[in-house]
Amino acid sequence: MDMRNLVINYHLTERCNYSCEFCFAKYGLEEKFNTELHRNVDSVKLMLEDVFRYFRKSFKSIRLNFAGGEPLLVANLIDIVDIAFYIGYEVSIITNGSLLKASLISNLFQKISMVGISIDSFNSETNHKIGRYTKNKPNNNIRQFIEELNKLPCKLKINTVVNRHNWQEDMSISINELNPDRWKIFKVLPIQPNTIGITDEQYQYFIETHYKKVGTLVFAENNDDMRESYIMIDPLGRFYQNSENDKGYIYSERILEQGTEKAFEQIVFDKIKFNQRYISL
């Protein structure tokens, strides 16, 4: 591998307080939450140390991006972030933002270099259709907490999944007001059952609607751009990738059982696609 910087996405949990139908993080663990690795901090530490030793041989820096499900639901999150930070990882996190609070911003995010927040719409009705709500209430405090995050040295990224409910929405005014360092726009993956898929033309319409209006870096990722271009670890501590038909995942054996090198050989990683996604970072 010839890249200087690596990003690894560690999906800590499948649990989420939202119910977005299109969510990328569908692992089939519904009845196995108690086996998720984050419940044993010592095991997480051993895995992250082994992953770091393996990839550090080839990369100048390694960013560990905590994702889910919703990572802020993980009780041990602060301890795990501390472990990753002291091992030597640059640390980032992606969250739906609904559980952000002042105490987290003042403590947890001091060690985080980038906070990614998933925002698929600024319309309450649209968010409700997508499933982005808790107890029938949309998250109305996201702007307030983004303003607080902007006071910290960490970068802000916004992720948007374009789907049947939001592909005609113009989000440019609100995105410009929030002024993220990056805005990543994904086309919804055709995970089955999926009733909110869109055509390539609809996805392109959304991109063209915003590309010239938004004064920030816009990164668009179609389905093929995402396939095999991410290094991902699932809640059980396995490397995994989207299958060729995007209807499931391919998993390695557990990293703690096989070691990082052998487990990583069991999935496909396209370094050219990876470089194309992160070339502007």
| Containing structural domain, residue 110 | 5-278
Domain count across the chain? 1
In 3D space, the residue among 172, 20, 13 whose CA is nearest the CA of residue 93 turns out to be: 13
Contact yes or no for 132/20 (Cβ under 8 A): yes
CATH label of the domain that carries residue 233: 3.20.20.70
Q: How many CB atoms lie within 10 A of CB 191?
A: 17
Whole-number Å distance between alpha carbons of 5 and 112: 17
Q: What is the pTM of this model?
A: 0.88
Contact yes or no for 258/252 (Cβ under 8 A): yes
Contact yes or no for 174/117 (Cβ under 8 A): no
pLDDT in tens, 108-153: 888 899 999 999 999 999 999 998 887 656 566 788 888 888 888 8
pLDDT in tens, 40-74: 999 999 999 999 999 999 888 999 999 999 999 99
Contact yes or no for 117/92 (Cβ under 8 A): no
Average pLDDT score over residue span 235-250: 80
